[in-house]
Structure 1
Amino acid sequence: MRDLLTNTLGLGLDVTARSAPMMSAFFEQGVYGQEDGWMLPAPGPDEWMRRLGTLPLMYQPGERWLYNVGDDVLGVLVARATGQSFEAFPRERIFDPLGMKDTGFHVPADKIDRLPPLYAPDWQTGDFLVEDEAEGGHHSKPPAFQSGGGGLDSTVDDYHAYFRMLLNHGVHGNQRILSRPAVELMTSNRLTPEQTAALQAWARGVVHLSHGQGQHGGWGFGMAVRTYRGDCAPIRQFGWDGGAGTTTYADPDNQLVEVDPAEDLDQAPAF
């Protein structure tokens, strides 16, 4: 469980090397990637786990930090352990108690007008092109795989409520949402020096895709944790940068939350 929560299970994605042998294997097995290049898993959770199980480990568990796969395995595990869909569990335990009424794995038809299209740059011309339309796009219908590593659609207000709860040690109003020890594990560095070195090496490798992403020094259970001063960013800051542009961080010392609503709640559009 610890290896899953810290993304050190021995399997992960390298978005900077799509032609690398393991990335090719992920695509060939249909574990990640679709014909149009999206990284979200296409099969349902049981079939996804079966396909993942056919692949070799890239490293021994606990040896190296690797991106994303551990979060998706956790989503499948939560669904199996609770006997619910992965979306149903956080909705019951987190979204509804926090009033996150606009958060889910797809945007209903009566809200689709609030969802912007996803734009991506053409790396040759620099032009911004529509990568995914709102109506008829990936987020306009329920996915076959409710991904623990990405795919939730949300709003600035919803995500702000979630991070305010974390700053308040797991409490929202008079209601406890998460235990204080769980929040402490999420928002403090859980990596060894060797694992941290691997994370920082990965972060430097994706700087051309997302400046600053992962360059914080540490990782908690599910998010980055800053362990050194970076420009104006304080030590103990926690959060993450979504693959389509969103940046969300919380500063426990100054009790501040920053939400930059570009396109996603961890790789999913905001609306």
Structure 2
Amino acid sequence: MEKLQALADRLVADGEVPGAVVGMTDGREHWVGSAGAVGNDSVFRVSSMTKPLAAVIALRLVESGVLGLQDPVERWLPELAGQRVVRRLDGPVDDTVPVERAATVEDLLTMRLGFGFAFEVESCPVAELAGELGFGPPRPSSVALDPDRWIARFGELPLMDQPGQVWRYELAYAVLGVLLARASGVDLPELFRRELLDPLGMGDTGFVVPEHARGRLARSFVGTDVFDDAATSEWLVPPVFPHAGGGLVSTAGDYLTFVAALMNGELVRPDLAAAMVTDQLTAEQRSGPSAQIFLDGGGWGYGVQVVGDRYGWGGGLGTLWYSKGGIGAVLMTQVLPPSPATVAAFVEAL
């Protein structure tokens, strides 16, 4: 914990972030410390650190028999039946070929749906058409469509790749959220509450800042410019589209509670827990353009990056979590994006 506290102190002293909270758990006890313009219980927009919770909820539905990993997603999302695949990423959206197989629940968990960021081309017409689906900085206003209209709009687009072939960040988890709500029969925020937040006592976590925690929401920045002010935050009102890939707010203490429960095997049965933290990608998928940028040589399980015996993930607004050797650690800041030096220092401190 001393290394993590020193990292928080240095980040603030060097002016890289105005405030930072760090925390560690061994699965039994939690330790939390802070530096700068935040407190131990400050609330942060954890963006893509939502994905591991969504993955756990999906696996819990698999365990209960509601879902199967190899089930086709169109079973619950008929809007996606009949989607085709563009012949070329930089080609016309009407130049397509048939899908070779339907996308599965596992394809969503592993982000091999066949749609996401296309870094290997200068222009990708189908990605440009998908602008209203929420590409870009993780904020509630980036998606103005409710889940039914969102999935209908996505179903009108062709895929970029054949399902199962390419790892692409990150739209698969938006699709996963719609599927989880439909399969369970409750909306996504309620599903998160029932499956994880209430049972674990994560009272400061949700798709909207809880009323009792509004005074603890940290200000968010892009560089030195305000991205989302605490007093007028977009996270103070329920989102039109609850985003399973990046919509949550949380605290260091709440997130450590989730991390500890995952490490202790309390959330899903052992085989599913093991699969979640096992690299599911092929060597070719790990070397793809999206993986090179986001995974930096690592692999991907279900909702987490996997590098050797270390697993976890970060959030684009300045948050990080990794677990290794029975220890889990979090870093909470609110500056987009986290610098590579910050990520490296945090991993080294674990």
Establish whether TM, by shorter chain, passes 0.5: yes
Aligned counterpart, 2:233: 137
TM-score normalised according to structure 1 size: 0.78
2:243 is the counterpart of 1:147? yes
SS in 2 for 1:139: helix
Instruction: Give how far 1:223 is off.
Output: 1.1
CA distance in 2, matches of 1:215, 1:34: 20
SS in 2 for 1:131: strand
Question: Which sits farther off after the overlay, 80-89 or 109-118?
Answer: 109-118
Aligned counterpart, 1:178: 268
2:213 is the counterpart of 1:111? yes
Is the alpha carbon distance of 1:261 and 1:220 closer, same or farther for their aligned partners in structure 2, counting shifts above 3 Å?
Answer: same
1:186–1:223 contact (8 Å) kept in structure 2: yes
CA distance in 2, matches of 1:157, 1:14: 36
Q: Which has the higher contact order (CA 8 A, sep 6+)?
A: 2
Aligned counterpart, 2:128: 24
Is the alpha carbon distance of 1:157 and 1:14 closer, same or farther for their aligned partners in structure 2, counting shifts above 3 Å?
Answer: farther
**CA deviation digits over 1:139-186, x for unaligned, max 9?**
0100011111111000101111111112112x2xxxxx3222221111
Question: Which sits farther off after the overlay, 147-156 or 189-198?
Answer: 189-198
2:319 counterpart (231, 242, 246): 246
How many equivalent pairs are there? Answer: 232
Instruction: Give how far 1:47 is off.
Output: 0.5
Question: Which sits farther off after the overlay, 88-97 or 39-48?
Answer: 39-48
Q: Residue type matched to 1:238 in 2?
A: Y
Q: Residue type matched to 1:214 in 2?
A: L
Aligned counterpart, 1:231: none
Aligned counterpart, 1:59: 161
Aligned counterpart, 1:210: none
CA distance in 1, matches of 2:138, 2:177: 24
2:180 is the counterpart of 1:78? yes
Aligned counterpart, 2:111: 7
Instruction: Give how far 1:36 is off.
Output: 11
CA distance in 2, matches of 1:93, 1:83: 13
2:271 is the counterpart of 1:190? no
2:111–2:170 contact (8 Å) kept in structure 1: yes
Instruction: Give how far 1:40 is off.
Output: 4.1
2:204–2:210 contact (8 Å) kept in structure 1: no
Calculate the aligned-residue CA RMSD, in Å. 2.6
TM-score normalised according to structure 2 size: 0.61
Q: Residue type matched to 2:260 in 1?
A: R
2:173–2:244 contact (8 Å) kept in structure 1: yes
2:140–2:240 contact (8 Å) kept in structure 1: no
CA distance in 1, matches of 2:122, 2:243: 20
Aligned counterpart, 2:300: 219
CA distance in 2, matches of 1:224, 1:9: 17
